[in-house]
Chain A
Amino acid sequence: MTEHEHWDIEIKPKTNWFRFNLREVWAYRDLISQFVRRDIVAVYKQTLLGPVWFLIQPILTTVVFTFIFGRIAKLAPGQVPDVLFYMAGIIPWTYFSECLIKTSTTFTGNASIYGKVYFPRLVIPISVVFSSLAKFGVQMILFLGTYLYYVLFMDYQPVANATLFLFPLVILLMGGLGLSLGIFISSLTTKYRDLGFLVAFGVDLLKFASTLVFPFSIIMSQTQKTIIGLNPMTSVIETFRYGFLGEKAAVFSWEALAYSTSFMGIMFVVAVLIFNRVEKSFMDTV
């Protein structure tokens, strides 16, 4: 036996913090696509309407928000249709929160499959991001349809602008933030589940610490602006709304967008490092 023999796989007690193999994830891209397919197809098996059910949730939420926050509380900006204003907030928020909530149970929810076979553990949360993206895509069609309806029949003057070119970044931010926070929480809850209880209602509360139900321009105090701005999803919603509905509905700021992007970047690196650390032996404690 020579010391320099080549081994493809080495199984060791602990691995380096900074050794993660994104090429391996790429090698398993077929598995990602199979999981995405399963997540989408399996949910609506034995239903007649199938993916149309993806639309019920945003429609009903928009109706309720328009009624409560728009009509009763009069929080909507008024110069743009309330329905479009709320829908332009609800759809990106839904994508973000779904990514977060679903990936936050990556380890605990998939223990039975993780416990039996090896594949890069990141495959599952990544596939969640993509299957949620498909749902988001269907909901975007709903949004564009509604938008078109307002333009054609309700005399709404479209103000869509060049910010729309930032749309890919907006998608990346929503998915990236959801994924990073989700797998971060998942990694912290393999042994002590306590934090897991916080997730569902925490995300629900976070919703109100963003500009989901009111326009940014309504906030007067600088402190309050900072607090709301600290939520990385605020600038995502603002950019999304600004692109479609213009300055009457939202405030666009490069600084805020840069903040969210760097927040996501840092969070992503931290989360992947911790996830990578935990995945090696979480099966013993999950």
Chain B
Amino acid sequence: MSNIVVKAENISKQYRLGVVSGKSLSEDVKRLIYKLSGKADPLAAISEVNDRTIKGGSEYVWALKNIDFEVNRGEVMGIIGRNGAGKSTLLKILSRVTTPTTGTIKAKGRIASLLEVGTGFHPELTGRENVFLNGAVLGMSKSEIKRKFDEIVEFSGVARYIDTPVKRYSSGMYVRLAFAVAAHLEPEILIIDEVLAVGDSEFQKKCLGKMKEVAGGGRTVLFVSHNMGAVSDICHKAILIEKGEVTKSGEANEVIAHYVNQTLHYDLTKADTLKDPEFRRGNGEIRFKNISLQNADHTDQNEYYPGDHVKIKCSCTVQQPVDELFFLFALRSSLSRETVASTGRISIKPNGNEFEFVVELPDLNLHQGVYETYYWLGSSSNELPYDVVDNLTAPLVVKMPENQLWLPSGYFTLDSKLIQ
């Protein structure tokens, strides 16, 4: 007896795009005629790959194509990918909401799916009535729900409102109650789609904790999420779906890194705005002429891994000669625009009308992400700086290492005197 509890073989799903109309009727008739005469479905052949961004010629599309995977007992598998990649279609097939066009999925034990919280909740019914209704929809028996009722209410934290119709609930309370019911399901295989995107952070933590507990209890979980933190936290392994196909599978952290690094990509061929003075600040007495990020081998590059050696190479032209000037380099998070790292003011003594300097970051100590760059040249006084290049050049991209978990280090030291 093998340990595999879910086994998907060659799963494909074809969808027809557009609206149902007279044309779809004629296509149905065509299919029927081919089927009756024992030939293969002519419309399967013309299907195109699932890419939502490109307007294709065919009205048929493979939402999923040749998906294979196996999940062992007690394993938590994450399913990740961009919007429209086919994750939800796969979950729909797994939860038996629809059937695959080809392929088979075999499973051992009960499958319960949580594609949405509060499926079947009726607004007019009270919280108590809805717990019973929703529990039954999810496949629990009445005695099972009765037994767990107090636990469910306690987990949800809405005990006070349990006899009030749920239409009076805040959306957060509604979701808490709904998730509480689902969290107390005890199937052998649990399928969860992105339900943690709701609720406050305290409740989200509670849910993740519960999911870990479920998985720890020997049950198998398939989990779709865009929250990479959650996936890496609770999943043992993961599959990445792109355009309807599994492009990577394996250890959760490896797959996540592969996926995250795809989004962490910056096109270097983008126009270099450094030559256009329009966006520049500063008095222009000294100007940056060229700026580049280089690796240890002096090659221009803007994608790095934590721990890499990065060189910032600048060349400048001088209009008004000075004895000393200061350079500052900073990195800003491209999401929050907060400064996350800076060199501080570095003193530079220029010689001649053109000069060059290199500032080194020997051990890149940053978490993965895209960082906007900020270059500053100024004098020691608080006058107008000479030149500022703010987010005009390619950003610094820090990628995620695929085989080990990387954490920023080096900030803390142990005070040995305090150890008793």
Contact = CB atoms under 8 A, between A and B. Distances in A.
B125 A11 contact: no
A124 to B, nearest CB: 10
Interface in B108-123: 108-111, 113, 115-116, 119-120, 122
Given A10-B105, A117-B115, 6 more contacts: A11-B104, A14-B99, A28-B139, A31-B137, A35-B136, A283-B92
Interface string B7-44: 10000000100001000110010000000000000000
Given A31-B136, A116-B116, A116-B119, A11 B96 contact: yes
Given A1-B2, A45-B165, A284 B103 contact: no
B106 interface: yes
Interface string B114-142: 01100110101100010011001111111
Contact of A118 (B28, B95, B140): B95
Interface string B231-248: 000000000000000000
5 contacts: A6-B108, A11-B99, A14-B99, A38-B125, A117-B137
A7 B107 contact: yes
A117 B133 contact: no
B101 interface: yes
A13 to B, nearest CB: 5
B38 to A, nearest CB: 15
A285 B99 CA distance: 12
B113 A13 contact: no
A191 B106 CA distance: 29
A12 B99 CA distance: 6
A9 interface: yes
A53 interface: no
B107 A9 contact: yes
Interface residues of A, number: 37
A280 interface: yes
- Of A10, A13, A46, A280, the most chain B CB neighbours within 10 A belong to A13
B287 to A, nearest CB: 60
Contact of B95 (A28, A42, A117, A192): A117
A130 to B, nearest CB: 14
B180 to A, nearest CB: 17
A281 interface: yes
Interface of A: 1, 5-14, 28, 30-31, 33-35, 37-38, 41-42, 45-46, 113-119, 191-192, 280-281, 283-285
B24 A118 contact: no
B347 interface: no
Contact of B97 (A7, A31, A116): A116
Given A38-B133, A117-B113, A12 B120 contact: no
A9 B109 CA distance: 7
Contacts of B132: 34
B93 A11 contact: yes
Nearest to B15: A284
B106 A117 contact: no
A35 B137 CA distance: 9
Nearest to A284: B98
A166 B52 CA distance: 61
Contacts of B120: 113, 117
A7 B106 contact: yes
Nearest to B119: A116
Contacts of B141: 30
Interface string B140-173: 1110000000000000000000000100000000
B396 interface: no
A13 B96 CA distance: 11
8 tightest A-B CB contacts, nearest first: A118-B96, A7-B106, A11-B105, A34-B136, A31-B136, A9-B107, A45-B124, A116-B119
A36 B119 CA distance: 17
- Of B4, B95, B120, B138, the most chain A CB neighbours within 10 A belong to B120
B77 interface: no
B1 interface: yes
Contact of A13 (B102, B125, B137): B102
Given A11-B104, A38-B133, A116-B115, A5 B122 contact: no
A118 B190 CA distance: 12
B84 interface: no
A99 B345 CA distance: 81
A117 B119 contact: yes
